[in-house]
Structure 1
Amino acid sequence: MNKITNIIAQTNWKQQGKDIFFLFVGVLMYATGYTAFILPEKVVQGAVAGISALIYYTTSFPPSISIWVLNAMMIIIAIKALTPQFVIRTVIGVTMLSLCVGFLQPFFTAHPIITPGEDKFMHVLIAALLCGTGLGIVFTHNGSTGGTDILMAVFNKYFNISFGRAMQFIDFTIISSSYFVFHSVETIIYGIVFTLVVSFMLDFVVNGSKQTVQLLIISKEYQEIANNVSGGMHRGVTVVEGKGWYTKNDVKLLIILAHKYELQDLMIIIKQIDPNAMVSQTFCHGVFGAGFEKIK
């Protein structure tokens, strides 16, 4: 038992070290997009970073400080709705983000890589790609940058509202408030475009690498299909006894789990052996275990 406990502890420490490293990488990417592109172009996004940007545009108060202060205030207010693990991850993520923004903002002010207003749409797009990818890396490695995450935890505990709707409402409210500062509908549109691209990239990074397919196959040639998939592609195949209710005949149902990029090879094998096979295809966000992603 002690040996197993030690192995688990060592694995946890390695995983935590890996998560912190990638958390820093993700936060650095997000901070780069935020300080090098968003702040110079005076675009307002959602969440705490958007509020901090609005404060900076109107008062010149450093966003690195307001990001940390606003998140700290929300954690204190919502502490009863948050788990200790969530609080720890959030404090680490927010502190990293504040430090990165605090370092990079004066750096890009002294060494700008863009000319504000020259190609604003492209700059917003690049920022969204960087920020969305950065957030995806953070979430993939069990991190948190605070902000909307804290509010989501509160909404989820006390109100009957989905994460998506709550996030959309909060972000749209923050972005729309930029009109009172700039009196520009164009600024609102840029903020919405930024948010949409960030959401897309976030989903792509979090789910894209994990996406798998599940095939349910009914065929008289089930043995040959199973042998070719198992022997040729080294993929596991599960055979389930079934019965066709219309024909009242016994059938064999093959269940195959594979990575998305293996789908084409699977379909070629099935088509070559039995073009009339019945195939049901389902995309999965993630499969964990032997041959797939390890359970964290």
Structure 2
Amino acid sequence: MNSSKLFAITKTVAPIMLGSAIYAFGLLYFIIPNQLMEGGVTGITILLNYALHIPIFLTTLLINLPLFLMGWKVLGGRQIVYTGVGIGSLTVFLWLFEKMIDLGWINPFSTEHDFILASLYAGVTLGLGLGIVFRFGGTTGGVDIVARIIGRKFGWSMGQVILTSDVVIIGASLLYISREKILYTLVAVFISSRVIDFIQEGAYAAKAFTIISDEAPKIADLISEELERGVTLIPAIGAYSKQAKYMVYCVVSRQEIRRLSQLVKSVDPRAFVIINDVHDVQGEGFRET
């Protein structure tokens, strides 16, 4: 294996391992000490820990291993390899952090009253970890594998399978934890989902301008000169006037929104301007691929 290929693999595997470490830390530092819950296979491992005091790293490995082998047979491909990296990393870091807690090197965040703080930080930590894993093409196994298999066999969406499993597992946890803790768990799950979306879509947010004007070529030239941004002229025909014209399409950073609006108005005060949110912008002047 040449050095460039090894570097490319490392650029993917290392973030998956990092994300798994953050996720494992969130579980053991915020979720378990405060008797909160999670969905999916992680929720099952937490329930077994609450009910039978079985170490989470052990049940994570025992449940995910057959699912991984099933996924390897049915799905195959690079995705399942990165899933294996995620499962292995999660198991190792759960074991490592449990040992560090037992030795007193880490003191988990446990509270008797301020559970909203615990659920907020749990959601951020778990979402950050999973978001990094997902962004680099990995998973932590469990329901993700089942969802992919069911989706391929029966046409169900991953969202439907994951939501159904979460409802069943979190509902079953009512046998061991209070309804109040379930509500705090839902707060953590919601925050986690939003952080995952944020990581997946990209931390960099920009705005896309679509400008319809009879002075479109002049506006495009001005944007290129003043903002030094790439501009695209798109041929269009007015539905009412039946006249051919151009639309201007341009993506700018948040800091340039006001400046671009002023440039458009200086050329054509009556220009029709549409502004859309854009996430994860790649290319010259933005995030390089």
TM-score (normalizing by structure 2): 0.89
Q: 1:243 aligns with which of 232, 237, 244?
A: 237
Q: Write the mapping of 1:109-124 to structure 2, written as runs, cut at 5 A.
A: 109=102, 110=104, 111-124=106-119
Are the counterparts in 2 of residues 30 and 131 from structure 1 also a CA contact under 8 Å? yes
Q: Write the mapping of 1:35-114 to structure 2, written as runs, cut at 5 A.
A: 35-109=28-102, 110=104, 111-114=106-109
Give the deviation of 1:280 after TM superposition.
2.5
The match for 2:133 is 138
Whether 1:276 aligns to 2:266 is: no
Cα deviation per residue 1:182-211 (whole Å; 9 max; x = unaligned)?
3x2122222222211111110011113254
Whether 1:232 aligns to 2:226 is: yes
Distance in 2 (alpha carbons) for counterparts of 1:262 and 1:83: 45
Distance in 2 (alpha carbons) for counterparts of 1:74 and 1:124: 29
The match for 1:198 is 192
Point out the more displaced range, 86-95 or 279-288: 279-288
Are the counterparts in 1 of residues 16 and 136 from structure 2 also a CA contact under 8 Å? yes
Give the deviation of 1:84 after TM superposition.
2.7
Point out the more displaced range, 207-216 or 116-125: 207-216
Letter of the aligned partner of 1:52 in structure 2? T
Cα deviation per residue 1:36-75 (whole Å; 9 max; x = unaligned)?
1111111111011111111111111110111112111212
The match for 1:208 is 202
Whether 1:172 aligns to 2:176 is: no
Give the deviation of 1:127 after TM superposition.
1.1
Are the counterparts in 2 of residues 90 and 145 from structure 1 also a CA contact under 8 Å? yes
Point out the more displaced range, 29-38 or 185-194: 185-194
Three-state SS of the structure 1 residue aligned to 2:176 is helix
Give the deviation of 1:271 after TM superposition.
2.9
The match for 1:3 is none
* Cα 1:68/1:290, change in 2 over 3 Å: same
Give the deviation of 1:10 after TM superposition.
5.3
Are the counterparts in 1 of residues 211 and 249 from structure 2 also a CA contact under 8 Å? yes
Are the counterparts in 2 of residues 178 and 187 from structure 1 also a CA contact under 8 Å? no
Give the deviation of 1:274 after TM superposition.
2.2
Point out the more displaced range, 35-44 or 236-245: 236-245
Are the counterparts in 1 of residues 42 and 60 from structure 2 also a CA contact under 8 Å? yes
The match for 1:26 is 19
Give the deviation of 1:151 after TM superposition.
1.6
TM-score (normalizing by structure 1): 0.87
Distance in 1 (alpha carbons) for counterparts of 2:125 and 2:186: 16
* Cα 1:189/1:284, change in 2 over 3 Å: same
Letter of the aligned partner of 2:246 in structure 1? K
Give the deviation of 1:267 after TM superposition.
2.5
Give the deviation of 1:21 after TM superposition.
2.1
Cα deviation per residue 1:197-252 (whole Å; 9 max; x = unaligned)?
11111001111325444322111222332122212222111112322231122212
Whether 1:220 aligns to 2:214 is: yes
Are the counterparts in 1 of residues 217 and 246 from structure 2 also a CA contact under 8 Å? no
Cα deviation per residue 1:60-109 (whole Å; 9 max; x = unaligned)?
11101111121112122343332231221111111111111111123235
Are the counterparts in 2 of residues 36 and 105 from structure 1 also a CA contact under 8 Å? no
Aligned length: 287
* Cα 1:13/1:231, change in 2 over 3 Å: farther
The match for 1:17 is 10
Q: 1:186 aligns with which of 158, 180, 188?
A: 180
Are the counterparts in 1 of residues 33 and 108 from structure 2 also a CA contact under 8 Å? no
* Cα 1:164/1:212, change in 2 over 3 Å: farther
Three-state SS of the structure 1 residue aligned to 2:250 is strand
Are the counterparts in 1 of residues 17 and 85 from structure 2 also a CA contact under 8 Å? no
* Cα 1:90/1:235, change in 2 over 3 Å: same
